[in-house]
C-alpha cells in the first residue's frame, strides 16, 4: 500500500476517483446535490488536503479535510473500501493526517460523526480525539469530536 497527500487544485481525474471510491465506501451513488457540494468544497474551502491510500494505483481509502480558521482544521470525510476494513488502513491515514497537521500551523482537528457510527467513533477515540459536544444533523444525533495539538 502506498499513501500520498494531494492538495488543491484537484484535477477532473482525481475528482472522478474520489467520487468512485466514495460510492464504494458509502455504498450509494453520488447524486447531483452531493457532487455539487463536493465540487464546492474542493474548490472553495482553504487548505483542502486529501490523504489517499492506493494498491497498484487503485484507490482503496482516503481522508479529506480543510481549514475552518487559521489554526483549526476540520476532518470532513474519510473511509476505506469495504473489503479492506479492519486492517489499520483508516488508522494509518488518520495518523498521517495528524502528523501533517502537527507539522504545519494547525493547533486542533475537529470532526463530526454520527453517534451510531461505532467504527469511526472508536477510531477517533483511539487517535486521541475526545467527544466535546453533540448536535442533530438531519434528525440524526452526531458527536463533535476534537483533538488539540
Ligand X SMILES: CC(C)(COP(=O)(O)OP(=O)(O)OC[C@H]1O[C@@H](n2cnc3c(N)ncnc32)[C@H](O)[C@@H]1OP(=O)(O)O)[C@@H](O)C(=O)NCCC(=O)NCCS
Near ligand X in 13-32, by CB under 6 A = 25
Near ligand X in 97-116, by CB under 6 A = 113
> 34: how many CB neighbours lie within 10 A of its CB?
15
> 72: how many CB neighbours lie within 10 A of its CB?
15
96 binds ligand X (CB under 6 A): no
Q: Which residues pair with 110 in a beta bridge?
A: 74, 146
65 binds ligand X (CB under 6 A): no
Grid coordinates belonging to 28: 450509494
Choice between 20 and 119, CB closer to ligand X: 119
Cis geometry, peptide bond prior to residue 9 (ω within 30 degrees of 0):
yes
38 binds ligand X (CB under 6 A): no
Among 2, 37, 44, 87, binds ligand X (CB under 6 A): 87
SS3 11: coil
Could you list the beta-strand ranges (E) of 46-129: 49-55, 58-69, 72-80, 108-114
88 binds ligand X (CB under 6 A): yes
Among 55, 119, 132, 134, binds ligand X (CB under 6 A): 119
User: Which residues sit at the interface with ligand X, rule CB under 6 A?
Assistant: 25, 77-80, 85-91, 113, 117-120, 122-123, 126
Amino acid at each position: 500500500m502506498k499513501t500520498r497527500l494531494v492538495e488543491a487544485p484537484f484535477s477532473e481525474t482525481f475528482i472522478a476517483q474520489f467520487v468512485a471510491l466514495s460510492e464504494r465506501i458509502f455504498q450509494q451513488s453520488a447524486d447531483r446535490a452531493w457532487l455539487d457540494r463536493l465540487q464546492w468544497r474542493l474548490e472553495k474551502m482553504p487548505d483542502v488536503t486529501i490523504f489517499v491510500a492506493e494498491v497498484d494505483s487503485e484507490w482503496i481509502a482516503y481522508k479529506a479535510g480543510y481549514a475552518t480558521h487559521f489554526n483549526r482544521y476540520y476532518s470532513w470525510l474519510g473511509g476505506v473500501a469495504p473489503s479492506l476494513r479492519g486492517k489499520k488502513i483508516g488508522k494509518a491515514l488518520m495518523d498521517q493526517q495528524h502528523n501533517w497537521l502537527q507539522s504545519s500551523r494547525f493547533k486542533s482537528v475537529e470532526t463530526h460523526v454520527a453517534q451510531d457510527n461505532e467504527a469511526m467513533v472508536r477510531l477517533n477515540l483511539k487517535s486521541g480525539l475526545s467527544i466535546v459536544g453533540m448536535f442533530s444533523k438531519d434528525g440524526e444525533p452526531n458527536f463533535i469530536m476534537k483533538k488539540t495539538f
